[in-house]
Amino acid sequence: MHDHEHVHEHEYEEDCCVEEVSEATVGQEVADFSLKVYDPVEGAFGEMDTEEIKKDGKWTILVFYPADFTFVCPTELADLATKHEELVKLGFEVFSVSTDTEFAHLAWRNSERLLENVKFKMASDPTGQISRYFGVYDAESGLALRGTFIINPDGLLVSKEINFYNVGRNADELLRKCQANVYLRENPAEACPAKWTPGGQTLTPSEKLVGKVYENYNEMP
């Protein structure tokens, strides 16, 4: 190992306990972890810590993508940037994550014009440990698949979406799912039907609704 690589080796050790759990599961509590980040707003390196985010009562969004300096990835992050302000207002901390270093994130963010409006923190998972924990790590390439995860303020994983390399995601749908999850946290007796958006009709599961959704759901075609 070259000397300069040895100097930074300790910087890539991820502080987490995920080795005790095989994989994050929807409906289950996510193990606490931290990752190095590049913060485009501050123009500086830092760290994200899920334990601290929970203490602040915030939601977390993790958007894994294959690699910096690629093709579909900047279009996804640019799309996510258009919804970032709305997500922050809803109480979310947003992080993009790849197996690139935070140094590569800085270089990519400042050279790719599609990323000029990216203000969310860009997290680094160079060992692939966190990518493995969330089930998006591709051992053959050493990269992460396109995975999106929503974690509530209690640390529970409430949403999981994974795409292969060649299919980009839609930030509009991510925002809708976040809005639905926030609403349901405040209204746990209700459920959001397909295509629900804020202000839309919800369902209240009960014996009377079994087999009678059509009669009780006015937005059905």
Q: Read off the pLDDT of each residue in 37-60 and give the average, rounded to a whole number.
A: 98
Banded pLDDT at 76 (limits 50, 70, 90): very high
CATH classification at residue 75:
3.40.30.10
Banded pLDDT at 10 (limits 50, 70, 90): very low
The answer on 147 and 133 residing in a single domain is yes
CA distances from 61 to 52, 86, 194, 220 (A): 14, 13, 21, 31
Banded pLDDT at 217 (limits 50, 70, 90): confident
pLDDT at position 121 is 98
Residue 198 is part of which domain span? 190-221
Residue of 47, 44, 59, 35 whose CA lies nearest to 144:
35
CA distances from 196 to 170, 178, 201 (A): 16, 11, 7
The answer on 199 and 169 residing in a single domain is no
User: Is the pLDDT reported for residue 95 higher than 90?
Assistant: yes
| Total domains, the chain | 2
Tell me the C-alpha distance between 90 and 76, whole Å: 20
User: Is the pLDDT reported for residue 19 higher than 60?
Assistant: no
- Could you tell me how many residues make up the chain? 221
Tell me the C-alpha distance between 16 and 46, whole Å: 16
3-class secondary structure, 196: coil
pLDDT, the chain, mean: 91
Q: Read off the pLDDT of each residue in 132-156 and give the average, rounded to a whole number.
A: 98
Residue of 40, 42, 39, 18 whose CA lies nearest to 28:
18
The answer on 174 and 75 residing in a single domain is yes
The answer on 180 and 89 residing in a single domain is yes
Share of the chain above pLDDT 90, in %: 86
DSSP string over 21-44: SS---TTSBPPPBEEEEEETTTTE
pLDDT at position 18 is 52
User: Is the pLDDT reported for residue 148 higher than 90?
Assistant: yes
Tell me the C-alpha distance between 190 and 192, whole Å: 7
User: Is the pLDDT reported for residue 68 higher than 90?
Assistant: yes
The answer on 160 and 109 residing in a single domain is yes
Task: Please tell me the pTM assigned to this model.
Answer: 0.89
The answer on 148 and 194 residing in a single domain is no
User: Is the pLDDT reported for residue 89 higher than 60?
Assistant: yes
pLDDT at position 125 is 98
Tell me the C-alpha distance between 54 and 36, whole Å: 18
The answer on 213 and 144 residing in a single domain is no
Share of the chain above pLDDT 70, in %: 89
End-to-end CA distance of the chain: 64
pLDDT at position 219 is 66
pLDDT at position 4 is 40
Per-residue tokens: 41: 């707003």
The answer on 219 and 118 residing in a single domain is no
Per-residue tokens: 206: 């009960």
The answer on 147 and 77 residing in a single domain is yes
User: Is the pLDDT reported for residue 2 higher than 80?
Assistant: no
pLDDT at position 221 is 59
Q: Read off the pLDDT of each residue in 103-125 and give the average, rounded to a whole number.
A: 98
Catalytically annotated residues: 73
Which of 21-35, 97-111, 198-212 is predicted most confidently?
97-111
The answer on 141 and 197 residing in a single domain is no
pLDDT at position 21 is 54
The answer on 208 and 159 residing in a single domain is no
The answer on 138 and 55 residing in a single domain is yes
